[in-house]
Structure 1
Amino acid sequence: MTDLLDAVELETGNAPTWSVLWLHGLGADGNDFAPIVPELVRPGWPALRFVFPHAPVRPVTINNGMRMRAWYDIAGTDFANRADAAGVDQSIAQVEVLLAREGERGIAPSNMLLAGFSQGGAITLAAGVRRQVPLAGLVALSTYLPGADSLASFASAAARAQPVFMGHGTSDPVVLTSYGQRSAQALADNGFSVEWHTYPMAHSVCAEEIRDLGDWMSQRFG
């Protein structure tokens, strides 16, 4: 049985009708993106529950085996073999448990957004493209899709109904912009609706990106 991960939770109003599950990057934790909520949320949006889970602590090969919060091990920097497949599968299962709990709390999948930054964004995409019941959308920031070059072999038909927002820095030294572009192109080629943005930044987020994401989220809320 897959454990329910601990998480930081923030609600923007009473009795939330939407959930946003947001996955942090390598070495961070669920507190990392909580401060973005007041910058992102707009008047007139429905009440949201933001769930920021903490990834498990594990040794990370590329960081000399140091133990840190990580959604999967990283053995190298090349696009094809960057992500440890077993770790990705484990994290997808943990994400599914968290999404199921939101369902138990009264939120339909059609009112759930799955988001992530860097490693968290990789898991967002990996979990999202395998969904048998589509979510309202996927948000992938400064990231890539593990196994993008063979996406057709594992993407579900239902998952293609999910719109995807992707943002990336043009001078990102951690996850190269080309990795994000290749993933966005693979998603588009496989029938996903992808909104791709680049920004003059490194491996981070910026005010312009938050604004664009807010515009995209407003479309989801109708």
Structure 2
Amino acid sequence: MYLHSKQIVTAGTPAVQATRAVVLLHGRGGSAEDIISLKRHLDLRGATIYAPQATNNSWYPYSFLAPVEQNQPALDSALQLIGELVTDIVATGIAPENIYFAAFSQGACLTLEYTARNAQRYGGIIAFTGGLIGQSLDTEQYHGDFGQTPVFISTGDPDPHVPVSRVKESIAVLERMNAFVTYAIYPGRQHTISAEEIRLVNEKILGNKIEKDHEQ
């Protein structure tokens, strides 16, 4: 089993000039460089981008639907790494309500798990094909109030890794914690990120605050 070292790739607006931050988490077998390529498609104006790199290119060894203990200690190490990164971002002067998360597949599951365990008002949470982690959900792990944080969760129907049933379970948990969830289920879609998903998150999560600020 393995732990994660703190290897963060950055891009976008320099931290001293940024008005927001985006944490990008890659999927199993992916890399920080892979997920950073999403900046060509996502509306990340004014954001410093932070992309951690998982040891062995995987945040945890088994399926996110396996018993949590089977994915230890890698899972706890990954959650700790994200927590340290969020602390570092706040130390640069970016408040949590201006921190966004965007991730795919295994990274999306990790993102949902971290934010549900540490719920507060974030800028937005984007889980391209993801759900909360565990063979069954231990809701006692989830604490806090999202304060109407906008969340996007998607999957295919069927998806080889993320079943619709777990997406729906996850939505119910997040909504009980006062998240404002938009979700999309795509019949027959492959395990990928579609142009329609990109359009939705740019419209409903990422571009929304910028447009409001501009109107003011």
TM-score over 0.5 (shorter chain): yes
Matching residue of 1:203: 191
Residue in 2 that maps onto 1:102:
89
Q: Which residue does the alignment assign to 2:51?
A: 52
Post-superposition Cα deviations, 1:39-70, rounded to whole Å, max 9, x if no partner, equal 222xxx7411111111122xxxxxxxxxxx11
Note if contact 2:102-2:125 (Cα within 8 Å) is conserved in structure 1: yes
Partner of 2:19: 17
The residue number in structure 2 matching 1:215 is 203
Tell me if the contact between 1:23 and 1:121 (Cα under 8 Å) persists in the aligned partners.
yes
- CA deviation digits over 1:12-53, x for unaligned, max 9? 478111000010001111011222212222xxx741111111
Match of 2:105 in 1: 118
| Alpha-carbon contact 2:21-2:49 (below 8 Å) kept | yes
Q: Aligned in 2, Cα 1:34/1:150: closer, same or farther, shift over 3 Å?
A: closer
Q: 2-side partners of 1:162 and 1:86: how far apart?
A: 29
Q: Contact 1:169–1:203 at 8 Å: present in 2 too?
A: yes
Deviation readout 1:65-122 (Å, 9 max, x if unpaired): xxxx111120x57x35276153222111100111111122221111101222111111
Closer, same or farther in 2 for the Cα pair 1:151/1:72, shift >3 Å? Answer: same
User: Could you list the runs of 4 or more consecutive aligned residues of structure 1 that deviate by over 6 angstroms after TM superposition?
Assistant: none
Evaluate the alpha carbon distance shift between residue 213 and residue 148 of structure 1 in structure 2; reply closer, same or farther with a 3 A threshold: farther
Matched residue type, 1:54:
Q
Question: Partners of 1:190 and 1:148 in 2: how far apart?
Answer: 21
1:82-93 pair list within 5 angstroms: 84-93=71-80
How far did residue 187 of structure 1 move?
2.4
The amino acid of 2:165's aligned partner reads S
In 2: Cα distance, 1:108 partner to 1:21 partner: 13
Could you tell me which residue of structure 1 aligns to residue 9 of structure 2? 8
> Could you tell me whether the CA contact under 8 Å between 2:160 and 2:191 is conserved in 1?
yes
Q: In 2 relative to 1, CA 16–184 (structure 1 residues): closer, same or farther, beyond 3 Å?
A: same
Alpha-carbon spacing, 1:177–1:206, altered in 2? closer, same or farther (3 Å): same
Amino acid at match of 2:9: V
Q: What is the CA RMSD across the aligned residues, in angstroms?
A: 2.6
Q: How many residues align?
A: 205
Q: Which runs of 5+ in 2 are unaligned?
A: none
Alignment of 1:131-146 (within 5 A): 131=118, 133-146=120-133
Scaled by the length of structure 1, the TM-score of the pair is 0.80
Post-superposition Cα deviations, 1:202-221, rounded to whole Å, max 9, x if no partner, equal: 11101110000101222244
TM-score with structure 2 length normalisation? Answer: 0.82
Partner of 1:60: none
Q: 2:141 aligns with which of 154, 161, 164?
A: 154
